[in-house]
Amino acid sequence: MFAHITGWGKALPERRLTNADLEKMVETADEWIVSRTGIRERRIASDGETTDSLGAEAAQGALAKAGVTAESVDMVIAASCTPETLFPSIANRIQERLHLKRAAALDLNQACTGFIHALAVAQGFIATGQYRTILVVGTEILTRHVDWNDRATCVLFGDAAGAVVVQASEEPGGPLAFDLGSDGNGGDLLMLPIEGKLCMNGREVYRFAVTAMTASLIAAVENANITLDQVSLLIPHQANSRIIHSAAQTLKIPLERVFTNVEKYGNTSAASIPVALCEAIEEGRIKPGDIVGMVAFGAGLAWGATVLRWTSQVA
């Protein structure tokens, strides 16, 4: 069985926090933030919004796009590193919100690489024939975990959710290959303690990110027996525009074949790639038959990449 993406959706808090707003909160400047990260604003969850409420909103859009009923969903996989509770899980709460009474529920925490890892898990369940319809959600509220006095990190992160419906089909398509990995020796370079605030060694994470993303995408392309030239559009993790541009340059992929929206949302961790996927579709950047690459890096230190053949109509 092949695992096709048949629906997609996103959810973004209404509140925008611009660089000008941050200038009033911490010692920083718009020019400094933009030149080093490419970020101009980010979304901030309201008091009433949660990872599961944002995730459910994105999932509802994906289910509607796919034309899938609640009774048809076999499993919910929620990728996130910012749950409100350790249990019940985010996936359990999304299941309850959307009345997915038949669905198994699973949380997956692999930080910014979470969506790609969750997509790989979904593909595995479908390939074995165990499930036919899986909802994959990436949802994060990182702004509740940053130190707003730390100008090196508070400018980077935002809140969002994105989701896809993955369905079984006998027709070829969907993920052609994955590359997933982790190096625990770098675990202390990017960390969110259970009781504490997010901390990061930005210089070392930057160095790791460019190397990891390029190597991982190359490995996924080789595993799929294709070439980088065949990748119609690359959707990288939206953490930093300089990292994205450096990786694209190393891979010799022109920027017109790379999708970015980091300037609008900042780093939304596991929500980053599914939100970018939705917006790439909205902008007409993906059509049936295209090979789409996705690659991410994150805490762990972890990395992940996939290349997939797009099959769904996007109009």
Residue written as token pair 């525009």: 241
Contact status, residue 198 vs residue 153, Cβ threshold 8 Å: yes
81 is catalytic: no
CA angle 158, 46, 48 (to 5 degrees): 130
Q: Which of 178, 173, 160 lies closest to 117 in space, CA to CA?
A: 178
Strand partners, 191: 199
**What's the Cα-to-Cα distance from 306 to each of 63, 157, 178, 220, rounded to whole Å?**
23, 24, 4, 6
26: amino acid identity, one letter: V
The token pair that represents 34 in the structure block: 């933009």
112 is catalytic: yes
186: amino acid identity, one letter: G
CA 199 – CA 192 distance, rounded (Å): 6
Q: Which of 260, 255, 252, 256 lies closest to 236 in space, CA to CA?
A: 260
237 is catalytic: yes
CA 301 – CA 204 distance, rounded (Å): 11
Name the burial class of residue 26, with classes exposed (0-12), middle (13-18) and buried (19+) by CB atoms within 10 angstroms of its CB. Answer: middle
Give the CA count within 13 Å in the CB-facing half-sphere of 201.
10
The H or E element spanning position 90 is helix 90-97
Could you say which of 154, 237, 240, 261 is catalytic?
237
Could you say which of 19, 92, 240, 267 is catalytic?
267
Residue written as token pair 């509607």: 64
Q: Which of 223, 233, 228, 298 lies closest to 261 in space, CA to CA?
A: 233
Q: Give catalytic residue positions.
A: 112, 237, 267
